[in-house]
Structure formats: structure tokens, C-alpha cells
Amino acid sequence: MSMRTQSWSTRWRSAAVALVMVLGGGATLATSSAPRCPDFPEGAASEFFRPPSSLEGWSRDATPSTFRAVGFDVERTTVHFSTCVRAETEKVPVMVRLEMAGESTGAVPQAWLSAMTVTDGHGRTWSPVSVFTRGAGPAYADSGYTLPARSEASFMLPVDVEAPVRLHLGELGGVSRPELSLDAQGPREQRP
Amino acid sequence: MNRAADARRAVRGDLLLHPVALVSLAVLLVNDHLLKQAAPGWVTGKLSDVAGLAFFPFLLLAVREVVTARPPTRRAAAVVAAVTGAAFAAIKLSTPARSLYAGVMGVLRFPADALVGGAQSPLAVAVQPDATDVVAVVACFVAVLAIAARRPGLPGGLELAPIPGPSE
């Protein structure tokens, strides 16, 4: 066998090994399925709840996601969906999370969060079923890592909620930012 | 000594080209992406476990050979098979191990989930805590048999360096 033939044989085998290695690594990851929801109940549930690729437990940014609130710079606002929407679902838990900028930012007053409301296109209004708030602080004792200030308000929204779905910020937003859109569509605000 | 055979041995990680490894990978891919959708059930569920556990030690041994330049031995194959089997059993039987695995796999999958599914944060993968799946760990030891068959009669699977034949 010539040296050239040996060289090609070696190259082909090396390429085959690399290909099988990549395929095998991918197959190993893909065989563990991400949590999936059953098919979205078309017509029975609002588009507001339609997940990307039926992922169970997913989130999206509110619009705008970043804004200046009263006494706080909100770095990111996200809308979280923790359960699958099925045909028999009547209410869906939806959590709105606000992360504040700054390493010494205090907690948003709990009363402000409790006063926030969500409204939809039918003119219905919902208050939070629970709220959570904390100021910025160390991740754990003596750690150099600081967790940002964070506030959360959870709502139980009916499965037929109609766009536009808006979060009314009340005292937190003041006059400059009275509300946010929680819908999937809408213009995205550039994050700094 | 056959030079073509020598050339084949020179490729690191070529254990992955072993027929058992290739068949296991093919079964894993076909079962995960075709058969499970066409006929979801006990058989297709177990088939992925068996194929994956048969293939994974080959993959680990090949990566080890590529990284360390040390050819796979029976001892290394036995260790890799035992570790793979033990990890799989722990994932199926222990809640903390399952949570750890689900979280780590979620992070590893995140780039693909973000690109394909629009995920904005890593999602823990779903793992069925089915104790009967543990029987599939026997498939891990196929790699040991393959290595033993590849290098018969050598203690510990140690490979002697090929002796070049007379120049032509």
C-alpha cells in the first residue's frame, strides 16, 4: 500500500471518528428530553399562553423589559409560565419578575407590589395572589457575589385572557412608566 | 505485518468505528427520532436506554484515547462501564442524583433549546424515575467484550506496539 493511500485511509478514519463522536455526543444530549407540554389546545386557550415549542416552564421578556421606576432602575422584567396549558385548564399561574440594578438597592415595598394589577382586552382586572420582594445582598455569608434586588408578583389568569395584557405598576412605575405589556408580541425595547 | 492494518490502528478514538458502537448509535438515533414517535411504549423506551448505555462507554473510551493518547484497555473499559452503569442506576433510583443530572443536562442542552425552541433559560430535562430501567446497565459491558475480543490474550488488554513489516 502506498504512503498516499495510507494517509487518505487515516484521514478518512479520523474524520469518521470525529463524526461519530459529534453524533454520539449530540445523541446523548438529545436522548434526555426537555420537559414538553402536550399539544397547545388550539382555540381553547389564549395565544398569550402559547409556549415556544411547547416547553414546560418557560419565560419571556415584558415590553419594555428595562425601565426607570420610582426609586429603582429595573434591569429586566420577565413573565414566567410554570405549567402546561391543557384543554381542561381554567386558570394559569403567571409570575412577573423584576430585577433591579445596583448592588445596594433596597427591596421594593411589598405594598407597592400588592397594589399592582393585570388587565386584559376584555377590561378584566386581576390582583396578585402572592408577592415576593428582597433587596440586593450577598448570595451567602462572606461571599463576594451579590444577588440583585428582585421583586415578583404572581397572578392567576384565566385561560381565555385577551390581548392586550398589561401589568399596571402603580406607585412603582409612577407617571413615567404606568404599565408594561406582557404579551408575546410588541416592540422590543433595546436593553443597555 | 499488514501495513493497512497498522494504518487503521494509528487513528486515535477509532474504537468508535467498532460495529457495536455504530449499530448502537444508529439504533439510538432511529429510536429517539423515529420509533418513539411512531410507536411510543415500553419497547421503544427501553431500547434507547440499552442503545445509549451500549454506546456511551465506547464514546468515553474514545474521548479518553483522543485526550490521553492511551489506547483503550480492558481495565479502562471495565472502569468506564462500571461508572456509566452506576451513574445511570443512581439517576434512576436516587432523587438527588436525578435532579443533578437533569440540571446539568439542561445547561448542556440550553444552546440548542434556545436556538430551536426559543428557551430563555436552561430547563432541567425530564427523567423518568423507573427502577426497571436499571436492568439496561448490562449493556454498558458490551464495550468490555468488544475490547477483549479486539485484543485477545493480552493481560489487562495492554496493546503491544505493532512491529513494522519488512520494507517492500
Same domain for A53 and A16: no
Domain count, chain A: 2
Q: Given the C-alpha cell 452506576, which residue does it identify?
A: B86
Q: Are residues A27 and A59 in the same domain?
A: no
Statement to judge: residues A159 and A91 lie in one domain: yes
Q: Provide, as residue numbers in chain B, all residues whose Cβ is less than 8 Å from the Cβ of A27.
A: 25, 28-29, 32, 52, 55
* Same domain? A93 vs A53: yes
Facing residue for A31 by CB, picked from B52, B113, B121: B52
Query: In chain B, what is the straight-line distance between the N-terminal and C-terminal CA atoms, in Å?
Result: 12
Asked if residues A49 and A92 have their Cβ atoms less than 8 Å apart, the reply is: yes
Domain of residue B53 covers: 11-93+137-156
ipTM of the complex: 0.79
In the numeric block, the cell 462500571 is attached to B82
Structural domain contains residue B110: no
Coil, strand or helix at B94? coil
Residue A173 in domain: yes
Question: Is B120 within a domain?
Answer: no
Q: Are residues A62 and A24 part of one domain?
A: no
pLDDT, tens digit (0-9, with 9 covering 90-100), for A30-50: 776 666 666 778 888 888 988
**Strands A72-81 vs A179-181: parallel, antiparallel or unpaired:** unpaired
Question: CA–CA distance from A157 to each of A152, A161, A165, B28 (Å)?
Answer: 15, 7, 10, 41
What are the cell numbers at B6? 497498522
Domain shared by A16 and A80, yes or no: no
Judged against a pLDDT cut of 90, whether residue A147 lies above it is answered with no
Chain mean position to CA B133: 16
Mutate to test the interface with B, among A33, A54, A97 (most CBs of B within 10 A): A33
In a domain, B168, yes or no: no
Q: Is A22 on the interface with B (CB under 8 A)?
A: no
Q: Quick one: average pLDDT of B35-44?
A: 79
pLDDT of residue A155: 96
In a domain, A190, yes or no: no
Give the separation between CA A45 and CA B128, rounded to whole angstroms. 28
DSSP string, A134-151: E--EESSTT-S-EEPPEE
Inside any domain, residue B61:
yes
**Residue listed under C-alpha cell 418513539:** B36
Average pLDDT over residues B163-167: 42
Assess if residue A126 is contained within a domain: yes
Q: Quick check: is A42 in a domain? A: no
User: Is A27 in CB contact (< 8 Å) with chain B?
Assistant: yes
DSSP A48: G
- Split into its structural domains, chain B has a count of 1
Identify the domain containing residue A5 by its residue range. Answer: 1-32
pLDDT of B158 above 60: no
Query: Is A58 in contact with B62 (Cβ distance < 8 A)?
Result: no
Question: A8, A12, A20: best mutation site toward chain B, by most B Cβ within 10 Å?
Answer: A20
Do A61 and A134 lie in a common domain? yes
Classify residue B16 by its DSSP letter: G
CB-closest option in A14, A24, A28 to B11: A14
Query: What residues of chain A lie within 8 A of the CB of B113, using their CB?
Result: 34, 55
Question: A79 and A26 share a domain?
Answer: no
Q: Which of residues 125-144 of A touch B (CB under 8 A)?
A: none
Where do we find the cell 451579590? A146
Regarding predicted confidence, which is higher, A70 or A5?
A70
Domain membership of residue B59 (yes or no) is yes
Asked whether residue A67 is domain-assigned, the answer is: yes
Helix (H) or strand (E) holding B22: helix B19-30
Q: How high is the pLDDT of residue A8?
A: 81
Domain co-membership, A7 together with A58: no
pLDDT at A32: 67
Point out the least confidently predicted range of B16-30, B65-79, B98-112, B151-165: B151-165
